[in-house]
Amino acid sequence: MTQKSNPNPTAALVEVAKIIEIELDTCIKKCNLPQHLEEAASYAVVNGGKRVRPALTLLCSEAVGGTLDQAMPSAIAVELIHCFSLVHDDLPAIDNDALRRGKPTLHVKSGEAMAILAGDLLLPVAFSQLICEQYSHEQQARLTKLLATATSDMVVGQVYDTIGGLPEHLDALQQLEEIHRNKTGALIRSACQMGAVCGNATPEEFEAISTFGSATGLMFQIVDDLIDLHGSAELVGKATGKDEEAGKTTYPGTIGVEASKLAVKDLQKQAETAISSLNGDAETLSSFNVWMAQRTR
């Protein structure tokens, strides 16, 4: 994998996504699982997701002068947590979705019990990635803490979004931010911070990457809401228009479509500014940030 300034960032991103897919496949196979559980876990993980979170981990490591290889176990850990959350999110008791990444959801394919259990399995497998020779004990502790905090924040966000219980003193926009800062933003931010830890970032660099991660995490959700409103199910690989149908609070629903698009532009700029003075190669990270603002799936 190249570490120098990259003349073709798009090709680099495609390469990064391919490598992540291979690493995820290897990781599940190494678990030595009974065949039906291995099939279910692979189905949940190795299935053409966009790999946004692990790509951020790798690229944030690169942006502070680290290597992609050093960041790989963390990238895999973050993506396993994400895949776990998608399997459980799709379950009948939560979002009750039949389609994910263009294919039947795991509970539709293998039954609810297997979907719950295969999802459960991904949690310990994720954390065990962080216990490896590549990381010092201090790094292992910091990475574990970051991932654990983001995972519990994600559950909090999911509870707010599906069950409720948001602090009542917050206005509509603040409530929306509170849901998404937890549900989607926390894991994206920690994906970035973990990359910084893997790349031995200075405290200032860690701060800059954290600012980048907060901005890009919120931006990701606003783009997601816009895609749910206007995108095609075929392109997105899951049902669209579900938010409106379920009466969910969304950015376009709360502040309007045009204001949501402006917010995306503003957050993209904030993220860009945060990484403008990093010591490593932030070119691919910067291109990825642009792609995240413009994505249609």
Catalog residues that contact ligand GRG under the rule CB under 6 A: 49-50, 52, 81-82, 84-86, 88-89, 94, 101, 151, 154-155, 158, 183-184, 224
Contacts 24+ apart (CB under 8 A), 222-228: 222/251, 222/260, 222/263, 222/264, 222/267, 223/264, 223/292, 223/293, 223/295, 224/184, 225/250, 225/251, 225/252, 225/253, 225/260, 226/251, 226/252, 226/257, 226/260, 226/261, 226/264, 227/295, 227/296, 227/297
Instruction: Pick between residue 37 and residue 159 the one whose CB is nearest to ligand GRG.
Output: 159
Helix or strand run (H / E) with residue 104:
strand 103-104
CA distance 28 to 107: 19
Least distance to ligand GRG from the beta carbon of 251, Å?
12
Let me know if 101 is exposed, middle or buried by CB neighbors in 10 A (0-12, 13-18, 19+).
middle
Dihedral sign computed on CA atoms, order 124, 216, 9, 140: negative
Least distance to ligand GRG from the beta carbon of 136, Å?
26
Instruction: Pick between residue 84 and residue 251 the one whose CB is nearest to ligand GRG.
Output: 84
CA distance 123 to 78: 10
- Say which residues have a Cβ less than 8 Å from residue 116's Cβ, sequence separation at least 6: 88, 91, 107
Instruction: Pick between residue 70 and residue 129 the one whose CB is nearest to ligand GRG.
Output: 129
For ligand GRG, which residue has the nearest CB? 49
Least distance to ligand GRG from the beta carbon of 154, Å?
5
Q: DSSP class of residue 133?
A: T
Integer distance in angstroms from the first to the last C-alpha of the chain?
A: 26
Least distance to ligand GRG from the beta carbon of 231, Å?
11
CA distance 262 to 116: 39
Least distance to ligand GRG from the beta carbon of 120, Å?
9
Least distance to ligand GRG from the beta carbon of 82, Å?
6
Instruction: Pick between residue 122 and residue 274 the one whose CB is nearest to ligand GRG.
Output: 122
Q: For tokens 């405290």, name the residue.
A: 203
Instruction: Pick between residue 72 and residue 77 the one whose CB is nearest to ligand GRG.
Output: 77
Least distance to ligand GRG from the beta carbon of 260, Å?
15
Instruction: Pick between residue 86 and residue 106 the one whose CB is nearest to ligand GRG.
Output: 86
Instruction: Pick between residue 62 and residue 89 the one whose CB is nearest to ligand GRG.
Output: 89
Least distance to ligand GRG from the beta carbon of 119, Å?
7
Q: Which two tokens stand for residue 108?
A: 């539709």
Instruction: Pick between residue 65 and residue 156 the one whose CB is nearest to ligand GRG.
Output: 156
